[in-house]
């Protein structure tokens, strides 16, 4: 059984972000189909958009965890092997299963070249881009460990954060525009899975892990200011998204406002998780935390099943369809993934030689 200790606040934040991802995908159909003049749409759109801090949050946590182990012995081959076992192989299995499902349903036609291409790009299913992105950070782990070691003063941390933010804009958000300068015959469509698109969140995680105890203590003391900052970011982001999506105004700088919201959301979620870390909540949510990657990989498949069920039921309201998707996304996926994780741990215990 996996008994590796986990920091409660990181586990709580991880589970929260996992819930956000499920909601994003479960509610996507309702958001795209709802009446944009209705109050329901305003509420649904706002919550849906708020949950989009999940991927930057995951990137932040991954960078933090890498930096936390800075003083421990590090073997790059062993590190990569661990990521291959825990991240890459489950991803490949998921890609195979999704491909078989799409082909069986007539949504796609299998070709070896197409399969390999989608595997490498993360195009088999919309959420797989995250795996492609995080693997780029894992592959370059020695570089990030070297950077984290050099974050040995407040000035260097500030410089790294500022530099990474602007590099993220130029070679992430505007990467397609940058590449277009050199080849105007095509537009690069995969900036969302290039690691530079999330560089600031990763470097912020490295900095937080480098000074973790101080960072944690300050977060514990700063829940109120973090909450107020989050409220500002959320109100601004919610308002701008609503007027933009409903056509009331064109907010061309919406991504900048949303980045500010993400920043405030990560600070707030972490500070809240620290405050709740001594409660019983981490223990209760521990199975979900340990199964979170499996939940991430498999929850869209549950949603496809939910859509098939909805289609068989016939004329189903948008609210009912959303309820079915939420039930399959949260209850079915989490239940099955936690059950499989529990069974796997039990099997490992039984197969483990006695006395070891």
Give tens-digit pLDDT for 184-202.
999 999 999 999 999 999 9
Q: What is the pLDDT of residue 315?
A: 85
pLDDT digits (tens, 9 = 90+) for 247-262: 999 999 999 999 999 9
Cα–Cα distances (Å) from 198 to 59, 132, 203, 292, in that order, read: 7, 12, 9, 21
Q: What is the pLDDT of residue 316?
A: 87
Q: What is the mean pLDDT of the chain?
A: 93
Phi-psi label, residue 74: left if phi above 0, alpha if psi -120 to 50, beta otherwise: beta
DSSP string across 102-137: HHHTTS----HHHHHHHHHHT-SSGGGHHHHHHHHH
Tokens of 243: 């007027």
CB distance 294 to 90 below 8 Å: yes
Q: What is the pLDDT of residue 17?
A: 98
Q: What is the pLDDT of residue 353?
A: 66
CB distance 240 to 254 below 8 Å: yes
CB distance 53 to 268 below 8 Å: no
Q: What is the pLDDT of residue 4?
A: 54
Mean pLDDT of 67-91: 94
CB distance 329 to 302 below 8 Å: yes
Q: What is the pLDDT of residue 1?
A: 37
pLDDT band at residue 5 using 50, 70 and 90 as cut-offs: low
Gap between the Cα atoms of 121 and 168, Å rounded:
20
120 CB-contact burial (10 Å; exposed 0-12 / middle 13-18 / buried 19+): exposed
Q: What is the pLDDT of residue 314?
A: 84
pLDDT band at residue 356 using 50, 70 and 90 as cut-offs: very low
Gap between the Cα atoms of 117 and 281, Å rounded:
41
Q: What is the pLDDT of residue 351?
A: 76
Q: Whole-model pTM?
A: 0.94
pLDDT digits (tens, 9 = 90+) for 233-248: 999 999 999 999 999 9
Closest alpha carbon to 195 in 121, 126, 130, 120: 130
Measured in degrees and rounded to the nearest 5, phi and psi for residue 111 equal -140, 140
pLDDT band at residue 3 using 50, 70 and 90 as cut-offs: very low
- What percent of the chain lies above the pLDDT cut of 70? 97
> Rounded to the nearest 10 degrees, what angle do helices 76-83 and 129-139 cross at?
170
Mean pLDDT of 168-181: 94
Gap between the Cα atoms of 286 and 35, Å rounded:
39
Gap between the Cα atoms of 20 and 332, Å rounded:
16
pLDDT band at residue 328 using 50, 70 and 90 as cut-offs: very high
DSSP string across 186-236: -----GGGSGGGGHHHHHHHHHHHHTHHHHHHHHHHTHHHHHHHHHHHHHH
Tokens of 161: 């954060």
Mean pLDDT of 78-92: 96
- Residue 203 reports pLDDT greater than 90: yes
Gap between the Cα atoms of 273 and 56, Å rounded:
17
Measured in degrees and rounded to the nearest 5, phi and psi for residue 72 equal -85, 155
CB distance 306 to 329 below 8 Å: yes
Mean pLDDT of 136-156: 96
Least confident range from 6-20, 112-126, 308-322, 339-353: namely: 339-353
Q: What is the pLDDT of residue 348?
A: 78
- Residue 6 reports pLDDT greater than 80: no
Length of the chain as a residue count = 356
Gap between the Cα atoms of 291 and 119, Å rounded:
22
- Residue 347 reports pLDDT greater than 90: no
CB distance 66 to 138 below 8 Å: no
Cα–Cα distances (Å) from 86 to 7, 27, 237, in that order, read: 19, 28, 35
Tokens of 143: 């570089």
Least confident range from 5-9, 91-95, 155-159, 224-228: namely: 5-9
pLDDT band at residue 2 using 50, 70 and 90 as cut-offs: very low
Gap between the Cα atoms of 62 and 141, Å rounded:
11
pLDDT band at residue 354 using 50, 70 and 90 as cut-offs: low
Closest alpha carbon to 86 in 287, 348, 288, 294: 294
Q: What is the dihedral of CA 342, 345, 346, 349, to 10 degrees?
A: -170
Closest alpha carbon to 196 in 216, 155, 157, 167: 167
């Amino acid at each position: 059984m996996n008994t590796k200790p986990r920091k409660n606040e990181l586990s709580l934040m991880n589970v929260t972000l996992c819930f956000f991802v499920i909601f994003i995908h479960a509610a996507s159909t309702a958001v795209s189909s709802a009446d944009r003049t209705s109050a329901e749409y305003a509420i649904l759109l706002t919550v849906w958009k708020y949950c989009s801090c999940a991927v930057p949050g995951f990137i932040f946590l991954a960078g933090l965890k890498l930096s936390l182990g800075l003083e421990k012995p590090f073997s790059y081959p062993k590190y990569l092997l661990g990521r291959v076992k825990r991240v890459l192989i489950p991803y490949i299995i998921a890609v195979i299963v999704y491909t078989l499902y799409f082909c069986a349903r007539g949504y796609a036609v299998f070709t070896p070249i197409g399969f390999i291409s989608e595997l490498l790009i993360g195009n088999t299913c919309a959420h797989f881009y995250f795996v492609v992105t995080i693997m780029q950070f894992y592959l370059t782990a020695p570089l990030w460990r070297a950077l984290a070691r050099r974050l040995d003063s407040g000035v260097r941390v500030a410089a790294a954060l500022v530099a990474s933010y602007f590099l993220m804009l130029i070679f992430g958000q505007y990467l397609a525009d940058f590449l277009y300068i050199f080849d105007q015959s095509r537009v690069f469509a995969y900036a969302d899975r290039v690691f530079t698109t999330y560089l600031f969140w990763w470097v912020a995680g490295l900095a937080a892990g480098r000074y973790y105890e101080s960072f944690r203590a300050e977060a514990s003391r700063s829940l109120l200011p973090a909450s107020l900052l989050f409220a500002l970011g959320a109100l601004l982001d919610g308002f701008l998204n609503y007027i933009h999506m409903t056509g009331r105004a064109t907010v061309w700088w919406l991504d900048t406002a949303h980045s500010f919201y993400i920043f405030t959301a990560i600070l707030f979620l972490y500070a809240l998780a620290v405050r709740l870390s001594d409660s019983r909540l981490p223990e209760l949510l521990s199975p979900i935390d340990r199964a979170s990657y499996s939940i991430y990989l498999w929850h869209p498949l549950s949603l496809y099943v939910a859509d098939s069920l909805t289609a068989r039921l016939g004329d189903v309201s948008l609210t009912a369809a959303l309820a079915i998707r939420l039930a399959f996304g949260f209850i079915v996926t989490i239940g099955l993934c936690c059950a499989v994780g529990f069974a796997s741990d039990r099997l490992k215990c039984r197969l483990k030689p006695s006395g070891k």
